[in-house]
Amino acid sequence: MEREKALELLRKYNIERLIILFLCCGMGLLASCGQQKEGQLKEMNVLLIVGGHGFDEEPFYAMMDKLPGITYDVAEHPDAYQYLKPGKIEGYDAVLLYDMPSEIPEEAKKDFIAMLEKGTGLVVLHHAFCSYDFWPEYTKIVGGRYHHFPWQKNGEEQPPSTYKHDLVLDVKVVDSKHPVTKGISDFQIVDEAYGGTEILESVHPLLATDEPASAPLVGWTHHYANAKVVTLTLGHDKQAWENPVFPQLLSQAVSWVGDCKR
Ligand SMILES: [Zn+2]
């Protein structure tokens, strides 16, 4: 009897030790997720996807090369989806979309969603908000949609979304405590604006403008599966990229979505 009692105690003790060990490991993981030091960005390896929309490459890549703490590979459509495949995507902390395809193959949809289920962060930049007209799930991923065609809102038909270049936008930081907007005050930027777009109520607003030709929000966060998502509709050309606020916003967005990979 004594021996059985002793064995039972030993089993219980080991189980308790295992529970404590698991708890400690969990706390450790949480702690390492929050290890981003004050004012210091964690090193991020980013997959930049382009294609389907032209842009002035030289100044864009000049801006990308200067982003603090970020290294990146460029994948261009139609081959870009290969990088989303299991076995490849794990090499990246975050995916930065600066592409604008209207269609996506079925297999790529699965890889895209699987990537978000793995917790790979996603930043959707400017015209990448206008991608995938015929893939409704993209709306749920990025937190809204640029509609190239008439669309329905509360049973009423809405006209297609619009764009207008070279506007001087007064941008208001609506959540200055968020890691993506930290250290950024209200600013002015010369940029293209998208109007009449759909923005889901589930987004967390970061940047707003009262420019009539623009949607009320030009930046927000969203979540999809296990991934953090940031959508910034700013960033048409070098007038925006060379604004000192822009690279700060972009690097903080990448840093936030790419941190604490789940
Ligand atoms: Zn544009």
CATH, residue 85: 3.40.50.880
How far does residue 113's CA lie from ligand 1's centre (Å)?
26
Count structural domains, the chain: 1
How far does residue 36's CA lie from ligand 1's centre (Å)?
32
Residues with CB under 5 A from ligand 1 (ion): 127, 192, 236
How far does residue 254's CA lie from ligand 1's centre (Å)?
20
Token readout for 2 is 């004594």
Range of the domain at 158: 42-258
- For the entire predicted model, the pTM comes to 0.85
How far does residue 127's CA lie from ligand 1's centre (Å)?
6
Average pLDDT over residues 121-129: 98
Kindly state whether residue 21 falls inside one of the protein's structural domains. no
Average pLDDT over residues 27-31: 41
Nearest Cα residue to 50 out of 162, 106, 125: 125
How far does residue 2's CA lie from ligand 1's centre (Å)?
78
How far does residue 14's CA lie from ligand 1's centre (Å)?
60
How far does residue 126's CA lie from ligand 1's centre (Å)?
6
Kindly state whether residue 220 falls inside one of the protein's structural domains. yes
pLDDT above 70 for 10: no
Calculate ∠ Cα 114-116-118, nearest 5°.
70
Kindly state whether residue 119 falls inside one of the protein's structural domains. yes
- Strand 44-51 and strand 70-76: the pairing is parallel
Kindly state whether residue 22 falls inside one of the protein's structural domains. no
Kindly state whether residue 127 falls inside one of the protein's structural domains. yes
Give the model's confidence band at 125: pLDDT under 50 very low, under 70 low, under 90 confident, else very high: very high
Average pLDDT over residues 195-224: 98
Kindly state whether residue 33 falls inside one of the protein's structural domains. no
SS3 string of 66-133? Answer: CCCCEEEEEEECCCHHHHHCCCCHHHCCEEEEEECCCCCCHHHHHHHHHHHHCCCEEEEEHHHHHCCC
Kindly state whether residue 1 falls inside one of the protein's structural domains. no
Kindly state whether residue 215 falls inside one of the protein's structural domains. yes
